[in-house]
Amino acid sequence: MGSNSAKALRGEIIDDYQVHPISIGDPVPMVGGAKNTEGDPLNVRVLEDSDPDSETYADYLQNGRSNGSRVIGAPINNGPPDFIAVGSGASFC
């Protein structure tokens, strides 16, 4: 997390690569830049999963054939002005 580079963003989405690993209590970098390149890497990530077809997370769990690629972790921050990591969450794509 934390790079303006489309290449770095693609690596973060597809390969779980972190430019700057974040621990609880660390600041979470808030970055600008165009993020319109993330659609294709998200699609690649979904297609890497052994269950690319489930429409809901409940179905995804129930089918029992996923490899977890459609679940992407992210830090949760406390908001402005500090954006300190207070936890972590996941998103289903």
Domain regions of the chain by residue span? 6-92
Judged by DSSP in three states, 39 sits in helix
User: Considering the chain, what percentage of its residues have pLDDT values greater than 70?
Assistant: 90
Residue 20 has pLDDT above 80, yes or no: no
| Whole-number Cα distances in Å, 38 to 1, 54, 55 | 13, 21, 20
Which pLDDT belongs to residue 33? 63
Which pLDDT belongs to residue 57? 94
pTM given for the model? 0.71
Which pLDDT belongs to residue 6? 74
